[in-house]
Amino acid sequence: MRLRAGAGVNPPVRARLRRLRFALLGTAAVVVILLGVGAGLMQLALPWLERHPERVERWLAERLQRPVGIGRVDAGWVGGGPLLALEQVRIGEPADGARTFSVPRAELAFNPWAVFARDRATSEFRVAGLELVFVNDDGNWRARDLPFGAGGSRGTFSMGALGAIEVRSLSLTVEDARNGRSVAFDVPVLRLLNRGEVTRVLGRARFAGSDSPLVDVVADLDLNALTGEIYAGGRNLDLAEFAAQPWPGGVHPVGGTGSVQLWARVHEGRIDDVRARVDLAGASLASDTPVDVDAATQVLPRVAFERLAFAARWLRDARGWTLDLADFVAGTVDAAPARATLVRAGAEDAPHWRAGLDAWPLQATGDLAMLSDAVPADARRWLYSARPRGRLERATLDWHARDSFELALSARGAGMSSVGAVPGIERIDVDLQGDAGALLLELPAQALRVDYPFLFRRPFLFASIGGEFVAHPSVDGWQLGTESLAFEGEGYGGELRGTVDLRAGRRPHLDLQAVATHGEVVAAKLFWPLRVMSPNAMSWLDRALVGGTVSGRAVVRGDLADWPFDDRTGLFLAQAEVHEATLDFHRDWPPAERIDAVARFVNKGLDVQADALRTMELEVAPAHAAIAHFGDAVLELEAHGQGSGMNLLRYLRATPVGRRFREQLDGLSVGGRGEVTFGMQLPLADSDAVKLEGTIALRDARIDLARQGLAFTGATGPLRFVQDGFAADALAVGFRERASTLSLAIGSTVKDPRHALEASLDGTWPASAVFADAPALLPLVGRFPGEAPWSARLAIEDAGAERTRLEIASNLQGIAIDLPAPFAKTAAQAMPFRLELELPQAGKPFDARLGNLVHARGVLPAVDRAFAAHLAFGGAGADAPPAQGVRVTGRMPVLDAGAWMELAGDAAGATSGLLRGIDVSVDDLLLASRHFADMRVVLEGDADATRLRLDGAALAGTVEIPSANLIGRGIRADFARVHWPAAPPDAPDASTFTRVAPASVPPLHVVIDDFRLDDASFGAAQFESTPFAGGMRIDRLAAQSPNIRMDARGEWTGAAADSRTQLVVELAARNLGDMMGALGFPGLIDGGDTRARIDARFPGPPSAFALDKLDGSLSIEVAGGRILDVEPGAGRIFGLFSLTEVPRRLSLDFSDFFRSGLGFNSITGRFRLADGNAWTEDLRIESPAADVLVTGRTGLRAKDYDQFMDVTPHAGATLPIVGAIAAGPVGAAAGLVMQGILNKPIGKAVERRYHVTGSWEKPAITVLPRTRAG
């Protein structure tokens, strides 16, 4: 339902409203007309005002109530009213005592329309560039040098009839002289509105010289009484825009948005009431003053809150003042609000303080206080690092004086980080109450974490800790004590009792006793004091304490200022009983286990006495450990133990010494038992600098070196060891069934610093025991009979070289050398021997010296390397060996070449190709028992052949042995001379020198230019042989000279151990006398064309040829000649020729034949040779004087006679017989018979018979009965 317009309205009322409307419209029209008329009149008056500035001066002076001077007036119409621009304006006169100031330009504006606008005036005086200062120097605020008013004191400000004063670019300074603070602001526009006695101030201000946002400023003040209300603040402020500005208290905002509002009530210049409301989101504040965190670090701290909000009021009254802080939130958005109250009452010099807190956050309070430079620097530093946290659920304080107060508080979840000497606590609940007489601190049983990095490395985590503390005031502080603080920590538990004296300006004094009722050894790691123990000491203790249980007690008494207690300034004593503990005292050594000990900590030292412990199955008791000073941190350990040799060795292998010399100890086993004693000094700061000394006393132990195949029995004596080595000095051992002395040094105990190991073994052994580990020498060991003192030295070079050297030495006195010269010696002779080689020996060098006889350097054979050596005889040093084989040089006093050739033949397979060269000078070369002086022997070879060159007065020539096709080419010998001496009487049988299979002898081609046998000269000689399936065929054995010719042929057959030679030898000479002279018996026979033939067999090689061995026949034919001399045994035909070494030696002997003294027409005969005898039945000597018939036996081996000699003189002739046959197969006895009848004229021929017996040298001749010749 719609109502018709005007329906329901009373008609009289409607009429009155219509009339009112018309009246208002009319009034407005009149006012507008009047204003327009006024404006017009004002515009007409503007030029007049420009010409009369004094009118304007007077008008302003009346309203400002101060003299005004104007230099010039420019009038104009601006907007809705006139505007007078005033230049060179001066307000005030010096004579009136007020401040005089001048401005170059000001404005006087009129606005008749201002009546229709808020906070506008019809007349405004506008000025710019003024400075205004508000000061507080006596607790009251006042304006200094106020530019308006009759004077500079209170009660002189007046705006008169001016509606408003507008100050532009105002510089406003607020000085708080009492607190030494001053803040300057820039005010772009400040308006002062005339409200009678009250002046309204409107403006917006910012910090001077900045671009910070403008803050609203509103005040209603009686500027003469300085009484009124002031508001400053804003909403939706961004605090980051204020960051660059100086703020009081040294704190400036960094960020945050929200409102900051401040209301203040001023009465006669005093602030009596202040209210504030702050509500910021994301608030961040920073300090202008850095915090010295430590000597090298400064920081400008900041704090941030999700929300920072509070409402506060400070109110002054006659009794004092009260501060209330409500709804305080500094933290998360949903943080519970807190409340605080602080009341000051009482006299100025005796204040009475009351404070109360509810649910107060400690962290926010500490953070805000830490930012302000009004807080002492030490407190700021502690607040910055400690970050106290938690909540004061309730706290009250009623304080009159130090000796008159009451306190009660309850803290929940309180905590702080450790700073310096102040420990840190995490989430502690504590109740405190008391007064000036005593304070009671109650610690409910609770879990707690305490951090004290100043003194301890790790936090203490208590599963439960609780008790009560009572604090009593003392002369200069407080004494805090407890009867029982029970604690249960990680692996330990006990009680603490005692007192702590807290004194002003001094470190606390402790008198505490702790009892550990139970605990684990590893829990002790929590209690190493940093200020006492070095980091290395603690690191060692951490690693060393592995397991076990402990109980004990501790006492601390003294000032912490003296901690750690030196010079007996205090006492720290702890004693612990340790059971079944494990001590890993060094990372490289086996740990000590199952320790039962008592440990005592006294101030900065440690002393441990162990009754029993074990380490790797060794029983150790007693043992003592000590650390005199934890600052130096040197562990001194002494222990004595015993165990089996096996366990002692296991322990040694587990030590650094054993690991370092693992290779040397590999394969070593020790039996029996022994005792170990050692002392150790271990600097915990440098565990590698450990000093260790100890001994292992072995008793009848067996030592086996499996790798070396060595075994020692009955080892008795001390084995010393140090941290980097061990040694055995003269350890009595049995080695290879002989008592000996073993010495050993490894590591630092060696004499030569280049060595890692040195060992020596001294004793008396046969050569077979010394060289039992050299199989290659075993065939020769039998040639070294006897025993001699030996010394073996083993040295292993240190890391890098890694060489093992063995030296074996002996004077060989007691051992004979059954080798050919020059090495042969008797057991009684001393001949120093030394051998040096590397191990393992394969492919390694060696060095050997035998007296001054020979020096050898060489390389032992290996898979990829052949044996090589250089032998230098005569005292000269050996050179580097050849690439392979043996090279021999130098000078030998004697060389038994034949014997060496025999040995070489026995080892032909092993030595084949071994010699790479010989070049020696020999004073006496012994060959087939013959001596050759001043010989040079050279053996050299190439790919084609090996050549032996002999050069001396008796032997000179070359023997060439081809390297290939030996059977086809054969051995060739070319001699310029061979002067072969007679065999000495004691010469061995030539057949013993050669044990060679005849068929294995290659073809021999021997040529001698000058061949002599003893005194016999055979001229040029030649020997040719050819091997065949059954042996060796002697194709030709010939000698040719002007006086003698010999041809021989035959065969050498059989095996090496059982061979025979068959020879046919033919001798011929034109002159038997010359032949005898060539054979070395000159002057025996003159003339005699001779033919001789031997056809015989004999055992052995051709070199074994001798008449006493022949089995065959000998025939001889001699034509006419004369025997010149007859002496028994003087002439020997056979036995004068000897050819040896075919291949070793070929020898032919011819016995004596005739002597002079008898002319003869012929000598003929035939001998049968067998069993060392020569039998003949028909040896006939026919001469002009007589005929001689010799029959019977001549002992060629026994050298005796059993012959008959029939002498038949020719009738009527004188027989000048001067000699007969002697000392040979023709019979020396005949010569003696002849000698008996020579030179006797025979008138009538008488036939005689003689019987010759006896030896060749002293034959016996018996004359048989005479018979007359026919």
Looking at residue 130, the DSSP 8-state letter turns out to be -
pLDDT single digits (tens) 1227-1253: 333 334 444 433 334 334 457 888 988
Single residue among 187, 215, 243 that ends a domain in this structure: 215
Backbone angles phi, psi at 652, to 5 degrees: -60, -40
| Residue 566: inside a domain | no
Mean pLDDT of 277-297: 91
Considering the domain architecture, whether residues 1051 and 1142 belong to the same structural domain is answered as yes
| Residue 41: inside a domain | yes
| Residue 1263: inside a domain | yes
pLDDT single digits (tens) 47-104: 777 777 888 788 877 777 778 888 888 877 776 678 888 888 887 776 555 567 777 8
Quick check: 618 and 652 in contact, CB under 8 A? no
Considering the domain architecture, whether residues 211 and 230 belong to the same structural domain is answered as no
Q: Supply the mean pLDDT for the chain.
A: 81
Distance CA 310, CA 364 (A): 13
What is the share, in percent, of the chain residues with pLDDT greater than 70? 84
Question: CA torsion, points 235, 239, 241, 242, in degrees to nearest 10?
Answer: 110
Residue 1153 has pLDDT above 70, yes or no: no
What is the share, in percent, of the chain residues with pLDDT greater than 90? 27
Within a 10 A sphere around the Cβ of 640, how many other Cβ atoms? 16
The amino acid at residue 104 is: P
Locus of tokens 């007996």: 568
658: tokens are 């054993």
* 1258 burial level (CB within 10 Å; 0-12, 13-18, 19+): exposed
Considering the domain architecture, whether residues 1087 and 1194 belong to the same structural domain is answered as yes
154: tokens are 């209170």
Single residue among 215, 238, 273 that ends a domain in this structure: 215
Considering the domain architecture, whether residues 1081 and 1155 belong to the same structural domain is answered as yes
Low-confidence winner among 276-285, 471-480, 1156-1165 (lowest mean pLDDT): 1156-1165
Could you tell me the pLDDT band of residue 207, with boundaries at 50, 70 and 90? confident
Considering the domain architecture, whether residues 208 and 278 belong to the same structural domain is answered as no
Q: Which of 682-691, 766-775, 926-935 has the highest mean pLDDT?
A: 926-935
Residue 1096 has pLDDT above 90, yes or no: yes
Could you tell me the pLDDT band of residue 1152, with boundaries at 50, 70 and 90? very low
Distance CA 952, CA 950 (A): 7
Quick check: 39 and 45 in contact, CB under 8 A? no
Distance CA 975, CA 1021 (A): 10
Within a 10 A sphere around the Cβ of 483, how many other Cβ atoms? 11
Distance CA 695, CA 1007 (A): 76
Could you tell me the pLDDT band of residue 124, with boundaries at 50, 70 and 90? confident
Considering the domain architecture, whether residues 1065 and 1170 belong to the same structural domain is answered as yes
Considering the domain architecture, whether residues 275 and 204 belong to the same structural domain is answered as no
Distance CA 27, CA 35 (A): 12
Single residue among 215, 247, 277 that ends a domain in this structure: 215
Could you tell me the pLDDT band of residue 1056, with boundaries at 50, 70 and 90? confident
Long-range interactions of 182-188: CB distance < 8 A, separation 24+: 183/207, 183/246, 183/248, 184/208, 184/209, 186/210, 187/217, 188/214
| Residue 11: inside a domain | no
Helix/strand/coil for 652: helix
pTM: predicted TM-score of the whole model, two decimal places: 0.53
Residue 1027 has pLDDT above 90, yes or no: yes
Considering the domain architecture, whether residues 201 and 270 belong to the same structural domain is answered as no
| Residue 931: inside a domain | no
Distance CA 604, CA 196 (A): 85
Return the pLDDT at 156.
60
Quick check: 1059 and 1099 in contact, CB under 8 A? yes
Return the pLDDT at 1233.
40
Distance CA 166, CA 902 (A): 144
Distance CA 1075, CA 1087 (A): 9
Residue 1084 has pLDDT above 80, yes or no: no
Return the pLDDT at 1049.
95
Return the pLDDT at 745.
84
Residue 835 has pLDDT above 60, yes or no: yes
Considering the domain architecture, whether residues 140 and 276 belong to the same structural domain is answered as no
| Residue 430: inside a domain | no
Residue 134 has pLDDT above 90, yes or no: no
Low-confidence winner among 337-341, 346-350, 802-806 (lowest mean pLDDT): 802-806
Return the pLDDT at 150.
41
The amino acid at residue 55 is: R
141 or 264, higher pLDDT: 264
List all residues 6 or more positions away from 522 whose beta carbon is below 8 Å from its beta carbon: 491, 545, 546, 547
Mean pLDDT of 252-274: 91
Distance CA 1167, CA 967 (A): 39
| Residue 868: inside a domain | no
Number of domains present in the structure of the chain: 3
Give the β-pairing of 1004-1013 and 971-980. parallel
Considering the domain architecture, whether residues 170 and 255 belong to the same structural domain is answered as no
| Residue 1246: inside a domain | yes
Quick check: 1027 and 1005 in contact, CB under 8 A? no
Quick check: 407 and 430 in contact, CB under 8 A? no
Considering the domain architecture, whether residues 60 and 121 belong to the same structural domain is answered as yes
Distance CA 1115, CA 1093 (A): 5
Distance CA 447, CA 469 (A): 18
Considering the domain architecture, whether residues 316 and 209 belong to the same structural domain is answered as no
Return the pLDDT at 1137.
24
Q: Which domain holds residue 1042?
A: 1000-1268
